[in-house]
A and B are shown apart, each in its own frame.
Chain A
């Protein structure tokens, strides 16, 4: 009788030393919908075609090495993960002064912008991990997916609580969350994020077995709902009076339009996830034509960066205002 403890990813040999029992190292969860997507991976059966060691594997092994830090050794991977993951905490950090002083003016005025934008950044960072694995074949940064997912949930829940209790919409807290289409969709996203947040630990993963993976696929539903949330928030991408991306006096109104930012980022995240595209990438990598892969992906990734930097711009701008407890009125 099979148990969850017996569960191993299909095509991989059981080499505990090589593939430690760390859930994030498995191609499980929302990363892998199709076992074949990993055939191009050097861990899979097709690795026999290329006996030489790959640079991705070398990078993973190098990351397992240690660096001296304060008289003790720290894994390079750990240090890199902390450095990369710390940014996920930034939105919550921006809100800390107003939380400590319980400044309801700041919380009500900017929690939706700071934590809402922060949730979006974290969601995209979470979704970026799988394409990064597909393209680089490195796996050392996979734990970031969970971390950014947790930070996304924290920001989303904080945003909802702030909007419910301190926003200047009419009605009771629940009414404030459901009285507009965009708030209702945002509320749905938060409701979906809660079970993902609760089960984002190894214990829940072991207990739920294969159902955990199915549950985690709700991330894609949240991703889809975010489109409608932003579309209804900003007039379906069209500026109408004060309804739109705001008064972008820098002359770059289109770049500040959040629905466009979402689309620019999602194009990359979605394309690299498509099974035919993954197979194409794996095949080209098998042939050693990595340059072709990067040439093909580079414009799509450039578009992702184009959209993402303006989301980060929004986060830092609104976040610093929140941090100084002087909420932006934009």
Chain B
């Protein structure tokens, strides 16, 4: 019962709509669809203009590429798929990410050692082992960092300084007494100062924009 009513309802509605459709589309349906025609024509013209303008704009890509390289401070020898260069800003951000996390951990390990060097040999040794692990991780990160050729000498010096410190801490960790541990402190501090100096040099070299002559 219900279904037959529904069917009848649909049939009636279908008839009414068919009638409407015939009216609507009679004579090509020009009257009822004029607004749509105007809208689609206007939008199509706008889109045509924009596509043509986009193609025209694309023809100047090469020239703008060179200008953009200089303007954004790109390092010319580092490739990035999207922008064709690595910008100083990109290097800066990556360098900051690298140094912030690793140096924070190294400082924490050093503080642990400083706290334990006169109290507990085991804790001091454990802090040194942790520091060696962190320093090794920092060294790995440095080796993976995309240093531009211009920064390579400073980067090499930094890597060597980190290596020297890691070696020194490793020797310190093998000490047999607290007094022997403390005997390394002066050399460790000196290696730390050398690392800081090298990091400043790397940072300065890294954040300096390339000159026009360096552009490809």
A11-B13, A283-B33, A329-B93 known; A250+B87 contact, CB < 8 A: no
Give me the interface of B with A, judged by CB distance under 8 Å.
2-3, 6-7, 10, 13-15, 17-18, 20-22, 24-25, 28-29, 32-33, 35-37, 39-41, 43-48, 50-51, 54, 57-58, 60-69, 72, 74, 80-85, 87, 89-91, 93-94, 97, 101
Q: How far is the CA of A45 from the CA of B16 in the complex (A)?
A: 9
Checking B7, B44, B50, B68 against A14 with a beta-carbon cut-off of 8 angstroms, the contacting residue is: B7
Verify A247–B44 contact, CB threshold 8 A: no
Number of interchain pairs (Cβ within 8 Å):
181
Verify B50–A39 contact, CB threshold 8 A: no
Given A248-B68, A283-B36, A299-B45, 13 extra CB contacts under 8 A: A11-B17, A36-B21, A39-B21, A49-B22, A250-B65, A250-B68, A268-B47, A275-B36, A281-B36, A286-B25, A287-B29, A302-B47, A329-B94
Verify B82–A313 contact, CB threshold 8 A: yes
Verify A297–B44 contact, CB threshold 8 A: yes
B106 to chain A, nearest CB (A): 17
The residue on A at minimum CB distance from B66 is A251
Chain A residues numbered 153-192 whose CB sits less than 8 Å from any CB in chain B:
none
Q: Which residues of A contact B93 (CB under 8 A)?
A: 329
Verify A48–B18 contact, CB threshold 8 A: yes
Verify A330–B80 contact, CB threshold 8 A: yes
Q: How far is the CA of A268 from the CA of B46 in the complex (A)?
A: 11
Q: Which residues of B contact A286 (CB under 8 A)?
A: 25, 29
8 CB < 8 A contacts A-B: A46-B25, A246-B83, A248-B83, A249-B84, A253-B68, A264-B50, A283-B24, A283-B29
A251-B62, A283-B29, A306-B51 known; A44+B44 contact, CB < 8 A: no
Residues of A in contact with B, size category:
35 or more
Q: Would you call A280 an interface residue if the criterion is a C-beta within 8 Å of the partner chain's C-beta atoms?
A: yes
Shortest beta-carbon contacts, A-B, top 7: A280-B36, A251-B64, A45-B18, A251-B65, A249-B83, A276-B36, A283-B29
B138 to chain A, nearest CB (A): 14
The residue on B at minimum CB distance from A6 is B6
The majority secondary structure among interface residues of chain B is helix
Q: Which residues of A contact B68 (CB under 8 A)?
A: 247-251, 253
Q: Which residues of B contact A314 (CB under 8 A)?
A: 82
The residue on A at minimum CB distance from B63 is A251
Q: How would residues 5 to 34 of chain A score, 1 for a CB under 8 Å from any chain B CB and 0 otherwise?
A: 010101111100000000000000000000
Q: How far is the CA of A248 from the CA of B89 in the complex (A)?
A: 12
Q: How far is the CA of A299 from the CA of B74 in the complex (A)?
A: 36
Verify B14–A45 contact, CB threshold 8 A: yes
A45-B14, A286-B25, A330-B80 known; A251+B61 contact, CB < 8 A: yes
A35-B17, A248-B83 known; A299+B44 contact, CB < 8 A: yes
Q: How far is the CA of A10 from the CA of B17 in the complex (A)?
A: 10
A303 to chain B, nearest CB (A): 4
A251-B65, A253-B68, A302-B51 known; A296+B82 contact, CB < 8 A: no
Q: Which residues of A contact B35 (CB under 8 A)?
A: 276, 280
A247-B83, A253-B68, A264-B50 known; A296+B17 contact, CB < 8 A: no
Verify B61–A271 contact, CB threshold 8 A: no
Q: How far is the CA of A330 from the CA of B81 in the complex (A)?
A: 11
The residue on A at minimum CB distance from B18 is A45
A249-B84, A283-B28 known; A6+B2 contact, CB < 8 A: yes
Checking B22, B25, B54, B74 against A249 with a beta-carbon cut-off of 8 angstroms, the contacting residue is: B74
Verify B36–A277 contact, CB threshold 8 A: yes
Verify A274–B18 contact, CB threshold 8 A: no
A296 to chain B, nearest CB (A): 5
B22 to chain A, nearest CB (A): 8
Chain A residues numbered 276-322 whose CB sits less than 8 Å from any CB in chain B:
276-281, 283-284, 286-287, 296-300, 302-303, 306, 313-314, 317, 320
Q: How far is the CA of A7 from the CA of B177 in the complex (A)?
A: 86
Q: Would you call A105 an interface residue if the criterion is a C-beta within 8 Å of the partner chain's C-beta atoms?
A: yes
The residue on A at minimum CB distance from B61 is A251
